[in-house]
Structure 1
Amino acid sequence: MNRQKFSGVKNSFLQRRYAVSLGRRYVLAAASVVLFSVLGCSQVNTNTSALAQPGLSQPEPSLQKKTVVIDTKIVDANNKFGFKLFSEIAKPDINAKNINVSPTSIAIALAMTYNGANGSTQQAMAKTLELQGISLPELNSAYASLNKQLQNPDENVQLNIANSLWVNQDISLRPDFVQTTSNFYQAKVTNLDFQNVTATSTINDWVKDNTKGKIDKIVDKIEPNQALFLINAIYFNGKWSQEFDKSQTKPQPFYTASGQQKQHPMMSQTGEYRYYENPQFQAVSLPYGKDGKTSLYIFLPKQNSNLKAFSENLNAENWEKWMSNFSKREGAISLPRFQTNYDITLNDTLKALGMGEAFSNKANFSGIGDNLTISQVKHKTFIDVNEEGTEASAVTSVGIVATSLREPQEPFKMIVDRPFFYAIRDNQSKNIWFMGVIVEPA
């Protein structure tokens, strides 16, 4: 591999810094959708009317405007669930294709669904989502606090979380369920005539608006037995704390898992980074915004290792151990510009993680309505990383039918020229927004 461009880094590095140019912001958007429908011609219980009229305006959330303290149990649960989910997805062949998922987006969508689960269905979902021992009031309050705390973490970083509940005008839901999604998840609740040809575009326009156009469609068509759509959108707009100098981007070899060499634009930068290295991998944190409260983490397996070996050790316990070992260190990094789309149906994955009952006729979502079961969970994502920042989006659809001090160290060199793992993490709450692997930058 040609790495002569880094040969002088030891002697010249400490005197050299690339200028930081302020450019346009990049966007990271994630959206999660929960689709509910009713088996056959049956309806959700109409004894109590949860929604009075289309376009129902929402009450203000009953949250006290005080200093918000993040419930670490919920963040820990989200991250544990995220790593379990990722490992199950990657199990068949992690080197087969690029993977990109938003565990937070999926977790929020399923948490709102979890509010309507009862009995053994609730227990199965709690196990899968790592929510054992956490009551519903505690869960919902924690998500409300997380939402409030994490929005707009930096003057140069915007983060917005939006939820909405779209209900067929012929359907009545449990009032408690609607109130919970409204008060704690700040969901916009709207009655809609699902038979009207404009219903699909109305829902998709909300998705497009709340992802700044990065996701323009989540509903292709509305089936006659559809009851409701529950949608979550996450929007992140930030720029690197230190942007990559475009003049330093040069074609360099990238080696795929099969050993094939492909020329690809590689961005280069030097500076002081939070960095960690062990016999298995190198890892670096590339921060966004002025305060670096959110970062892109790159994990590059060593030449004597690979993504498969790395993924076998990737879990919440090891992740926290690795995070605690990052420390400031001078160095140089070469990172490929990469862009990838990802599409997966998560039914089998969630069943393997213990949620099988929620997909069966035994499902109990009586907290939402009668005779409901999950029919399909789909997840689609997009991510683009370049010199100015990161742009990404994710869509998750869940269909429901009824049945310190240190010794001086030499500058590191990190050439990301082979398959690697990445994660986008909020460094204050420790919440992980995105994670994935790149086996071949597009």
Structure 2
Amino acid sequence: MNRQKFSGVKENFLQRRYGVSLGRRYVLAAASVVIFGVLGCSQIDSNKSALAQSSLPQSETPLEKKTVNTDTKILESNNKFSFKLFSEVNKSDGGEKNIFLSPSSVAIALAMTYNGASGSTQQAMAKTLELQGMNLSEINSAYATILKQLLDNQDPKVQLKIANSLWANQDIKFQSEFLKRAEDFYQAKVSNLNFQDATAVNTINNWVKDNTDGKINKIVGQIDPNQVLFLINAIYFKGNWSNAFDKNKTAEYPFNIASGRQKQYPMMSQDGEYKYYENEQFQAVSLPYGKDGKISFYIFLPKQNSNLKAFSQNLNLENWEKWMTQFNKQKGFIRLPRFKTEYDVTLNSALKALGMEEAFSNKANFSGMGKNFAISQVKHKTFVEVNEEGTEAAAATSVGIVATAFRQEPKPFRMIVDRPFFCAIRDNQTGSILFMGSIVEPQ
């Protein structure tokens, strides 16, 4: 896509303000925070704000319509980063506990942060985020386009809101171009705060709470003396199944935990026609949300002769894209547990392993924001609940920066999700992976 076309898309995007109905019960929410601490003093020009929010786009049936008018290079970069991040987190946890991440939220927060990186720090972040070969203008314009497509929709049963904000210490000076790009391309609300005031924490947390329908109540615990900036991304998704599960069919069945033990869990059951794919290693099904199925909940169930660890070793962008083309409509029966789980992780080690180590060191160069910045900590917390009517989930990521020094009609399938499985929530129009996780033990 040429620069002129991107510019036109950007101008249209920046002129819009999006509305969203928050009345439904089932919600998916994500929040990402980038926290900055530095030496020195100055201030941001104004308390400008811009919030992107809306429901998701309409189209034909999922998986039959490919990505439309979207910068596919950025989408590929985001999804590649998503699988790399999940793999690194999975390594550290050893496959013994539930994992649930919002890679889109993390990627957006880090993309805004990337606008302040320079020199070898920018190169290191580009490697981690898979942004090599793209200049900053192309990256930001592509994100503006993707955000617009994600949010441009009329389906009343499936809604998505994406909001960004920058909260700055009123005594610290930041590069005006850095702030302007956050506003222009990411529709970020930019505000000054007195970080010495005890109410500053509540102000930030209330914004996150408001933009995640109360699913993320607290992302900032306290503001240390050397903290100067918080970049926050919040993703809010609300969707009911296109075909809700009958609560009367929910019953107790055994679930085989990775340790070899069995536990009884309430399992939801349903017959119908689904997008389905099966190979020698796993069964997979797509359960759509809303009227048009633009977003789906994907379940990948390793077969009895395999396991979740083996599946995870094959989980990468190349295989994912190949698998997405193999789903075909097929009649069948599915049984899966109602589940609810919470997860938290510090992402420092994972991001360093992916090539961002310099950004955490005294060699970090964030001169595009100001002077002497380095990342101190990246925290990620999530919550997810799946039941008969839909899905509810939340995620929060905080990044702290401190001063440095089918084709034939097959027979109906049976998919009994009674052992650890992988799942993902994907926007089928853009291909963006909003959430992904492995469920070892429903809680």
**Common fold by TM > 0.5:** yes
Q: Which sections of structure 1, spanning at least 5 residues, go unmatched?
A: 1-22, 62-67
Cα deviation, 1:73-111, whole Å, max 9, x if unaligned, reads: 111101000100111111245431000001100000110
How far off is 1:25 after superposition? 3.7
Residue type of the alignment partner of 1:236: F
Instruction: Look up the SS of the partner of 2:186 in the other structure.
Output: coil
Aligned partners of 2:50 and 2:189 also within 8 Å: no
Change (3 A) 1:214 1:364: same
Aligned partner of 1:99 in structure 2 is: 99
Kindly indicate whether residue 40 of structure 2 is the aligned counterpart of residue 43 of structure 1. yes
Aligned partner of 1:86 in structure 2 is: 86
Distance 1:179 1:417 in 2: 50
Aligned partner of 1:75 in structure 2 is: 75
Distance 1:94 1:415 in 2: 24
Aligned partner of 1:346 in structure 2 is: 347
Cα deviation, 1:165-193, whole Å, max 9, x if unaligned, reads: 11111111100000000010000011111
Aligned partner of 2:187 in structure 1 is: 186
Aligned partner of 2:132 in structure 1 is: 132
Instruction: Look up the SS of the partner of 1:184 in the other structure.
Output: helix
Q: Which sections of structure 2, spanning at least 5 residues, go unmatched?
A: 1-22, 53-67
Kindly indicate whether residue 420 of structure 2 is the aligned counterpart of residue 419 of structure 1. yes
Aligned partner of 1:300 in structure 2 is: 301
Aligned partners of 1:124 and 1:357 also within 8 Å: yes
Cα deviation, 1:252-280, whole Å, max 9, x if unaligned, reads: 00001121010000000010000000000
Distance 2:383 2:211 in 1: 16
Aligned partner of 1:309 in structure 2 is: 310
Aligned partners of 1:60 and 1:183 also within 8 Å: no
Distance 1:75 1:290 in 2: 25
Higher mean alpha-carbon deviation, 98-107 vs 86-95, is at 86-95
Aligned partner of 1:397 in structure 2 is: 398
Change (3 A) 1:27 1:170: same
Aligned partner of 1:52 in structure 2 is: 45
Aligned partners of 1:152 and 1:158 also within 8 Å: no
The percentage of counterpart residues that share the same residue type is 69
Distance 1:315 1:167 in 2: 37
- Structure 1 stretches of 4+ with a deviation exceeding 2 A read 57-61, 92-95, 152-155
How far off is 1:402 after superposition? 1.6
Cα deviation, 1:293-328, whole Å, max 9, x if unaligned, reads: 000000000000001110110000000001100000
Aligned partners of 2:99 and 2:343 also within 8 Å: yes
Aligned partner of 2:271 in structure 1 is: 270
Q: Where do 1:356-375 residues align within 5 Å?
A: 356-375=357-376
How far off is 1:30 after superposition? 0.4
Aligned partner of 1:3 in structure 2 is: none
Aligned partners of 2:51 and 2:163 also within 8 Å: no
Distance 2:350 2:118 in 1: 22
Distance 1:402 1:201 in 2: 24
Aligned partner of 2:213 in structure 1 is: 212
Distance 1:52 1:179 in 2: 10
Aligned partners of 2:50 and 2:188 also within 8 Å: no
Q: Where do 1:8-23 residues align within 5 Å?
A: none
TM-score, scaled to structure 2 = 0.89
Instruction: Look up the SS of the partner of 2:225 in the other structure.
Output: coil
How far off is 1:24 after superposition? 5.1
Aligned partners of 1:33 and 1:230 also within 8 Å: yes
How far off is 1:440 after superposition? 0.5
Aligned partner of 2:18 in structure 1 is: none
Residue type of the alignment partner of 2:167: W
Distance 2:390 2:108 in 1: 25
Q: Where do 1:147-162 residues align within 5 Å?
A: 147-151=147-151, 153=153, 154-162=155-163
How far off is 1:135 after superposition? 1.1
Distance 1:118 1:409 in 2: 55
Distance 2:222 2:261 in 1: 42
Aligned partner of 2:283 in structure 1 is: 282
Aligned partners of 1:94 and 1:307 also within 8 Å: no
Q: How many residues are aligned here?
A: 404
Distance 1:89 1:248 in 2: 36
How far off is 1:227 after superposition? 0.7
